[in-house]
Amino acid sequence: MGRSRKYLVIVSLILLLLLVVSIVFFHYRAYLLLSMIMIAAIMIPFFARFEWRDVGGREVVLLAMLAAIAAVGRVPFAGLPSIQPTSFIIIMAGLVFGAESGFIVGAVAAIVSNFFLGQGPWTPWQMYAWGMMGMTAGLLRNTAFMKTLWGKCTFGFVWGYIFGWFMNTWVIVGNIEALSWKYVAGIFASSIYFDLAHALSNVFFIIVFGVSWIKILQRIQRKYGLLYEQSG
């Protein structure tokens, strides 16, 4: 593990350096490059935590399986493109297994599904958006708000939009000098149908399947003996 720790420190230092360099030197403002570096820099602590934490074999398998299920979640819905089941699965994972696991499941689900659909410049954005979705679900899971059905539904609805915004951002930063309210509004308007469908399908799944999924995941948590390790 020592070697990976060293590498990781080196990489984060390089990223930090790149960030400074790009801000100072890039008069021309390469925003896409900058934004990618920033996203990587934000995500690294989460992955670092996962690398250094004491993680048992069972937990690794469980997380890998959840991410894979989230990634293949789209398969039965191939005929219904407006329905997005992946987010629901990630939220559920975060709710039951906590913030760290939620982040890993979300981020890995994005990478894995792109391994089959094709990686692109959107991969880091997607990783970040889904990772954050799982993480916030985990962070808020013990609050009174998230304990209610309404709370969960609101959470799912809001994230349906935030996810869409994140995916819009990567288009916007590529073209940031053209930034104007009209431009941003135009891009957001073009995705409004997808975002709404995403938000509504999250709400729908949480209402219909939320209870049974949480039950199943808790059952697994007991079976794997992962009940006491979570800090939230």
* Alpha carbons 198 and 70: distance in angstroms, whole number: 15
Which residue, among 149, 106, 139, has the nearest Cα to 124 in the 3D structure? 106
CA neighbours within 13 Å on the CB side: how many for 212? 4
CA neighbours within 13 Å on the CB side: how many for 218? 7
* Least Cβ distance, residue 28 to another protein (angstroms): 6
* Least Cβ distance, residue 59 to another protein (angstroms): 9
* Least Cβ distance, residue 116 to another protein (angstroms): 7
Nearer to another protein, 26 or 145 (CB): 26
Given a contact cutoff of 8 angstroms between Cβ atoms, the answer to whether 64 and 108 are in contact is: yes
Looking at the chain, how many residues does it have?
Answer: 232
Which residue, among 39, 78, 63, 52, has the nearest Cα to 112 in the 3D structure? 63
* Least Cβ distance, residue 209 to another protein (angstroms): 5
Nearer to another protein, 109 or 199 (CB): 109
* Least Cβ distance, residue 143 to another protein (angstroms): 25
Nearer to another protein, 12 or 154 (CB): 12
Nearer to another protein, 10 or 143 (CB): 10
Per-position DSSP letters for 80-96, written without gaps between them: -TT---HHHHHHHHHHH
Nearer to another protein, 75 or 144 (CB): 75
Per-position DSSP letters for 32-49, written without gaps between them: HHHHHHHHHHHHHHHHHH
Q: Is 78 helix (H, G, I), strand (E, B) or coil?
A: coil
Nearer to another protein, 178 or 192 (CB): 178
* Least Cβ distance, residue 131 to another protein (angstroms): 12
